[in-house]
Structures are given as C-alpha cells and as structure tokens.
Amino acid sequence: MWTEYQTRLDIETSELRALLSAALAGDELEVQDITRLLSVRGSDVSIVIRAADELRERLVGNIVTYVKNRNLNFTNICTGSCRFCAFRRSLDAPDAYVLSEAQIRTKVREARDVGATEVCVQGGLHPDFGLQDYIKLLHIIREVAPQIHIHAFSPAEIDHICKQEGMEVSEVLTELRNAGLDSMPGTAAEILVDRVRALICPEKISAKRWIEIIRTAHELGIPTTATVLYGTVERPPELAQHLQIIRRIQRDTGGFTEFVPLAFIPFRTHLFATGIHHPPSLSYSLLVHAVARLVFAELIPNIQASWVKLGPDGASLMLRAGANDLGGTLMEEHITRATGGTRTSMSESQLRHLIVRSGRIPKQRTTLYGILD
C-alpha cells in the first residue's frame, strides 16, 4: 500500500539523521516529517528504531510496566458494520450473547480474587441497551469489587448511549462517572481520517465525534487511552495526521494515559475478502511504535505494545522500538480472537518473564500508571 509514496518520500540517510536529531532535541515533528519517518524502508528502519529507543530510555528508563486486569466483553450483539471486525453478531445469530448478571459477578469475583486492579469493559452496540443498562453493569462490578478500577466504554459506546437517550455527551459521561466509571479506553479511533473510515467503518462514529467525546471526557476529569489501528488501507500521511490529532488533544487536555498501536488482524474479516490477507509486517510494526515514541515524547510517555495483536514475542520486540508497557493480563480476550488471534490471556509471571528476557525491569502498575511493586 506504500509504493506510491515510497519513491516520492525516500530521503537520504543524512536527512533522516538530521530529522531524528531534531526530534531527540525536543523539536515537534510536523505531519510531513512524520510521514517521511513512516515511509522509510530497509536499513533506515533500524536508524529510526534506535532513536526511539534512546528517547524511551531518556524519558522512562528501563522499567516496563503491566497491569493485572480482566477483560469483560459483555455482549457481541452489535448494530455496527465495521469491516475490520469479526466479533459482532446480529440479535438473532446462534452465537450471539449477553452476559447475565450472575456471569458478570462471577467474572469480576475471579478478577478480584487473583488481585486484579482493573476490569476493562467493552461490548457491542446492543440495539436495546440504554443508559440504565450501562449504569447497572457498573453497579454490579462495584458491588463485587468496590476498590477495582473500572476502565470502560469506548467513544462508540458513549455515542450509542447518547443516541439511545437523546442526551449530550457530557450528560452521559457524568452519569457514568457518578455510577463508578474511572477511565475510558480510547478505542474506536481506528484512523482519524474520513477517507479511511469511509472504507473500513463507514457507519461508525466520525473522527470529529470521536474527538468530541474524548475531549469531553478529559474536561470532566475522566482519563482515557489513545489508540490507532494500523495496517488496513491507511497511507503514511493519514497515519501521520492521526498521530498529530492525538498529540494536539494531549497538549490541550493532558488526559491520555498511554498510546496503544494496534496491528490489524485480517483473518475472518470483511477486509480479508477485499484483499488484505496479512497483518502488518514486523518491521512496519517496529516502525509505527518507534515513530509514536518520537512524535509524543514527554507528552505521552507511555507507549504500549499489544501482545494480543503482535503475540508475546512480537510485543517484546517493540520494547526495543520505544515501547515501555505490555498492557494487561486480561484473563480472557474475544475481539481479536474472533479475527484469528490465538492468545487470549497472559499470567503475571509470563509477562514478567517476557520483560526480564528483554533485558528490562518489570513493574506492576495501576491503570493510571502508579507503580505498585
């Protein structure tokens, strides 16, 4: 997908080194600069990776963090039509589900009993779910585990509630915060460029709406993560635009706790049928993580590598390209598994071993990056 840009944007190694030196000196990279970095190939990739690793060590040292958490995908019934998703089901699908209250209580109890500090809650856009259903879910979790951090509901889910109830974003978020919501995942971002969204998720919330919901959450004191889905149909300038948007929001609000690049897994998705048959290459994943580190620098000091998307070995390699976090233990994972992912859980000891094997220092953290050990 990069051929049309590669020739036009090839830069001499000397120019590349000058660009990286400026980034390491604290200069802000412009979209054109970010595009050039995302377009490098061959041996120049390793030059970008080394620069990102140097910046990582300078900003956060050799500690690599993780969180003990449980993933809770409470329903796969969804009105959406995202072409990169294989998780969603229609109401009448034979394998459609909504977790019962008893099932939710059991899952949260299991998380609490193994010392999880977070439960991460996301689900499909159920056509019958309104605000009170989401509030009830929060109340159930809070009853079973009063102290656990509830990290829940993507901007797409917030938008869904607003439409269901005819409410403003700030009203919905205030109600959810009062019911126990602590922070939000910044998923549903994909690529914040209309051309890409029209091809991969035409009915999903717009880039403008995602930005509005995230900014409102930050204004209300609800921190969020930030993500990008890379490896579908986006081009380097579009990925660069996405990174610039995230950086601009963070400069204004300071509400992002981390940035998480998510590699597209195409198997069993509609996009596979259109010709995208392979996940992004390992080399390109290294480049994306490295460029993210260089773009965000101290603004977003935590860059997460997703073992769910990249596999444990792939994620550990990202620690050499600017990443300093390996996410959570999850206990179970359904969304990526539906697209062909094979790993659904990592124990704390497995994560720590992976970090030590990478020559780094493992530390358990809270959702908001407080160190616990």
**If pLDDT is split at 50, 70 and 90, which confidence band does 338 have?**
low
Residue 300 DSSP class:
S
- The HSE-up count of residue 365 (CA atoms within 13 Å, CB side) is 21
CA distance 239 to 241: 5
CA distance 85 to 71: 17
Q: Whats the size of the chain, residue-wise?
A: 373
Are 71 and 335 in contact by the 8 Å Cβ rule? The answer is: no
Dump pLDDT digits (tens) for 147-177.
999 999 999 999 999 999 999 999 999 999 9
Closest C-alpha among 112, 100, 50 to residue 74: 100
- Dihedral pair phi/psi, residue 348, rounded to 5°: -60, -45
Q: Where are the domains of the chain?
A: 3-364
Of the listed ranges 85-94, 119-128, 157-166, 299-308, the least confidently predicted one is 85-94
**pLDDT at site 4:** 40
Q: Which CATH number fits domain 3-364: 3.40.50.360, 3.20.20.70, 2.60.40.10, 3.30.450.20?
A: 3.20.20.70
**pLDDT at site 75:** 96
- C-alpha distance from residue 238 to each of 31, 47, 200, 201 (Å): 9, 22, 14, 15
CA distance 361 to 184: 27
Q: Is the pTM of this model over 0.85?
A: yes
CA 212 and chain centroid, separation: 18
**If pLDDT is split at 50, 70 and 90, which confidence band does 332 have?**
confident
pLDDT, average across residues 232-258? 98
CA distance 47 to 54: 11
pLDDT, average across residues 260-284? 93
Are 113 and 124 in contact by the 8 Å Cβ rule? The answer is: no
CA distance 112 to 119: 9
Dump pLDDT digits (tens) for 357-369.
999 999 999 999 9
| Environment class of 203 (CB within 10 Å of its CB; exposed 0-12, middle 13-18, buried 19+) | exposed
CA distance 5 to 261: 21
CA distance 294 to 292: 5
Are 316 and 49 in contact by the 8 Å Cβ rule? The answer is: no
CA distance 311 to 279: 12
